[in-house]
């Protein structure tokens, strides 16, 4: 499952999504599938305009996901 935050919720039309992925799926596979399922997020994902967290840390693209993992997807934030 991925929890969506801020305007990513509006783009996806949901607070969270569950994606069906193969057992050996990686973070990169997850991002590809998410972009296909939510085209409004696809461009942002491809440009790296997101912050992805897994268990309070930034997972590596090649990291394998396990059944039951909960990811959090945030848009980048700025301030000044």
Query: Whole-model pTM?
Result: 0.90
Q: Is the pLDDT of residue 79 over 90?
A: no
d(CA 20, CA 10): 22
What's domain 2-74's superfamily in CATH? Beta-grasp domain (3.10.20.30)
d(CA 9, CA 14): 5
- pLDDT tens, 32-75? 999 999 999 999 999 999 999 999 999 999 999 999 999 999 99
Q: What is the pLDDT of residue 77?
A: 81
Q: What is the pLDDT of residue 80?
A: 62
- pLDDT tens, 13-35? 999 999 999 999 999 999 999 99
Q: Where are the domains of the chain?
A: 2-74
Q: Is the pLDDT of residue 78 over 80?
A: no
């Amino acid at each position: 499952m991925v929890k969506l935050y801020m305007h990513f919720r509006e783009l996806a039309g949901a607070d969270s999504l569950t994606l069906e992925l193969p057992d050996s799926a990686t973070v990169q596979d997850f991002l590809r599938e998410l972009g296909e399922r939510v085209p409004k997020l696809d461009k942002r994902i491809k440009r790296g305009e997101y912050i992805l967290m897994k268990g309070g840390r930034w997972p590596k693209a090649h990291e394998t996901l396990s059944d039951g993992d909960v990811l959090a997807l945030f848009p980048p934030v700025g301030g000044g």
